[in-house]
Chains A and B, each alone.
Chain A
């Protein structure tokens, strides 16, 4: 299986998962890493069985490049909140781009930077998504092994709340902290609630979540729902669009 690992606008944190799983794949006869700039100087940009894509699309050059990778790959897997939702840099999508730009740079060099940072699914079809900021390396292994075994990968689609119940973690919302657990997909094992802080949504919204209900609850408790989501790393996720940002 020829694998390519690609980076777009991102912090590099999700492709590090491949270093985490290196002991598992380093001696595998079934896997050939044919393109992975951060790991190797020997890269063949040709055809790929699986392309793992980290990062959001935030320049015109990236728009072209993701389409080219799609054309060359049988399977495209979006890894991490940037590729899946647009990432923390999509926080700029909710402000005035020129203003945000001018806080960082004095001069207007970047004419090719898009005002919006978008998920790759806005440009190409995506076969699987591995969520999180960063991803859970176990889910990458699940994708790879499933594809090798020709079975459907099992990627969790239940909310953080379920994991809190399983682990008997007292509900932070009940205890008085803002928590996005009810609308956020679990993949972290309810990490933040287990460490005494509310979920800040780094795995992103779950399909079909009852956003309205949580918004009402936040309002009742005096928490700012929209601000917490906009601070998060999945604010521009397609599930949020049209529901939260009308």
Chain B
């Protein structure tokens, strides 16, 4: 017998857990994604390269800048464009805005209520309006930062292959410096507060951490792909070492290293792999609250996200202070036939794009691998650990815990679904 549990809540997109019952106990569990696919790879074929950043942004309303950055860099790589430091710095700043925004949304609006067993931020607000005020402050600050660079928060409009359609005025950007100390203080307060919450005892096992490495930077905009078993590869080599596979009991595609090892991407992977690339001041704060690598407890990812916000804020501050507007917002380039790969660290982990382009700049092939599909394995295996062998009459109660373990990974189902397989059986039975 199969029981389809209620749709997942406080995650981005549509999914649910399905359990199969035998002899009164759960004997199998799977994560069922029923978000309808939107066929982005198919839509992109035949389009001119310059619309890809805006089209792929629409894969995700929470992390559109990540899509824009992976996408523009893929074409820049295909056309052999060198991006000047000033433009890269502005892109980083833009991307920090998105990390702060996306992490804030997850930490406070989606994840935090779990630690109080409350349904939403609205109820958290009743018991602790202070922490909710911090959430609103961080949201407002990051919205302003993104707006100044990108025009608007969701699906911003300035990112272009070769640079920006327009770069922000110095005054506009520097004006937000007056708010930055407040949100820095707020973030430390939030770390202090959240670190004192109760974290369930839980540890993920036998998974590798995969993230980017980018010199002395904490990875965000670009880099080589690093796996915690010691492998470092170029972005172009991704599909030589990582593979998608299907399993008979599930319709979702998984991603695995070709040697059979499972892995995760995102804050936990980045933190464990590149803790030493956080700013010294941030590392000190992290140590003060005993947030140090390796972290295997996914519930503690909420703390990692806060630490990443702190790092983004300090780096944003110095980038804004040193910002000088350049008149020429894009570099000149020539369109040519070729293959381009772009990779960056979306808030949820590695976001990989590959395009084949004709000599007139038409897209012949597109392939996009978002972070959430790479985290499918760990999410499903955590849910299995929570629910296997559970007695039928205890499922409803235990599933709440299982849902929490999915939320630990901040899944973005809209992102994942553009290539996840959805079994037709479940589409009719919402």
Q: Is A107 an interface residue (CB 8 A)?
A: yes
Q: Which residues of B contact A104 (CB under 8 A)?
A: 37, 39-42, 418-419
Q: Which residues of B contact A112 (CB under 8 A)?
A: 424, 427-428
* Given known contacts A41-B10, A65-B430, A104-B419, A134 and B61 CB-to-CB distance under 8 angstroms: yes
Say how far A200's CB is from chain B's closest CB, in angstroms. 7
Q: Is A14 an interface residue (CB 8 A)?
A: yes
Are A41 and B428 touching (Cβ within 8 A)?
A: no
Q: Mark B33-60, 1 if CB is under 8 A from A, else 0.
A: 0111111111101111001001100111
Q: Mark B241-272, 1 if CB is under 8 A from A, else 0.
A: 00000000001000000000000000000000
Q: Mark A4-43, 1 if CB is under 8 A from B, else 0.
A: 0001111111111001101100110000010001111111
Q: How far is the CA of A110 from the CA of B39 in the complex (A)?
A: 11
Q: Is B323 an interface residue (CB 8 A)?
A: no
Q: Is A245 an interface residue (CB 8 A)?
A: no
Q: Which residues of A contact B110 (CB under 8 A)?
A: 38
Among listed B81-89, B154-162, B380-388, interface-contacting one: B154-162
Q: Which residues of A contact B37 (CB under 8 A)?
A: 104-105, 110, 113
Are B9 and A92 touching (Cβ within 8 A)?
A: no
Among listed B23-31, B118-126, B207-215, interface-contacting one: B118-126
Partner of A100, one of B39, B105, B427, B430: B39
Are B132 and A26 touching (Cβ within 8 A)?
A: yes
Q: Is B347 an interface residue (CB 8 A)?
A: no
Partner of B38, one of A9, A102, A133: A9
Are A103 and B424 touching (Cβ within 8 A)?
A: no
Are B119 and A100 touching (Cβ within 8 A)?
A: no
Are B58 and A133 touching (Cβ within 8 A)?
A: yes
Say how far A85's CB is from chain B's closest CB, in angstroms. 13
Are B120 and A39 touching (Cβ within 8 A)?
A: yes
Say how far B199's CB is from chain A's closest CB, in angstroms. 19
Are A19 and B119 touching (Cβ within 8 A)?
A: no
Are A233 and B58 touching (Cβ within 8 A)?
A: yes
Q: Mark A113-133, 1 if CB is under 8 A from B, else 0.
A: 100010000000000000001
Q: Which residues of B contact A227 (CB under 8 A)?
A: 48
Are A26 and B51 touching (Cβ within 8 A)?
A: no
Question: Which of A65, A100, A102 has the most chain B CB within a 10 Å cutoff?
Answer: A100
Q: Which residues of A contact B131 (CB under 8 A)?
A: none
Q: Is A156 an interface residue (CB 8 A)?
A: no
Are A101 and B42 touching (Cβ within 8 A)?
A: yes
Q: Mark B132-175, 1 if CB is under 8 A from A, else 0.
A: 10001001000100000001111101101000011000000000
The 4 closest A-B pairs by CB, nearest first: A13-B61, A100-B42, A40-B120, A42-B119
The interface of chain B, by Cβ under 8 A from chain A, is: 7-14, 34-43, 45-48, 51, 54-55, 58-62, 64, 105, 109-110, 113, 119-122, 125, 132, 136, 139, 143, 151-155, 157-158, 160, 165-166, 251, 329, 365-366, 400, 403, 414, 418-419, 421-424, 427-428, 430
Number of A-B contacts (CB under 8 A): 185
Q: How far is the CA of A22 from the CA of B46 in the complex (A)?
A: 41
Q: How far is the CA of A111 from the CA of B45 in the complex (A)?
A: 22
Are B121 and A39 touching (Cβ within 8 A)?
A: yes
Q: Is A60 an interface residue (CB 8 A)?
A: yes
Partner of A60, one of B46, B119, B153, B428: B428
Closest to B42 in A: A100
Q: Is A220 an interface residue (CB 8 A)?
A: no
Q: Is A59 an interface residue (CB 8 A)?
A: yes
Are A92 and B158 touching (Cβ within 8 A)?
A: no
Q: Is A216 an interface residue (CB 8 A)?
A: no
Say how far B342's CB is from chain A's closest CB, in angstroms. 19
Are A196 and B154 touching (Cβ within 8 A)?
A: no
Q: Is A213 an interface residue (CB 8 A)?
A: no
Question: Which of B36, B60, B109, B160 has the most chain A CB within a 10 Å cutoff?
Answer: B36
Closest to A194 in B: B151
Q: Which residues of B contact A92 (CB under 8 A)?
A: 39, 42-43
Q: Mark A227-238, 1 if CB is under 8 A from B, else 0.
A: 100010100000
Q: Which residues of B contact A113 (CB under 8 A)?
A: 36-37
Are A103 and B10 touching (Cβ within 8 A)?
A: no
Say how far B185's CB is from chain A's closest CB, in angstroms. 19
Closest to B39 in A: A104
Are A38 and B424 touching (Cβ within 8 A)?
A: no
* Given known contacts A7-B14, A196-B166, A191 and B157 CB-to-CB distance under 8 angstroms: yes
Say how far A143's CB is from chain B's closest CB, in angstroms. 18
Say how far B368's CB is from chain A's closest CB, in angstroms. 10
Question: Which of A16, A59, A104, A105 has the most chain B CB within a 10 Å cutoff?
Answer: A104
Are A40 and B39 touching (Cβ within 8 A)?
A: no
Question: Which of A102, A112, A233 has the most chain B CB within a 10 Å cutoff?
Answer: A112
Q: Is A202 an interface residue (CB 8 A)?
A: yes
Closest to B137 in A: A23
Q: Which residues of B contact A42 (CB under 8 A)?
A: 119-120
Are B38 and A191 touching (Cβ within 8 A)?
A: no
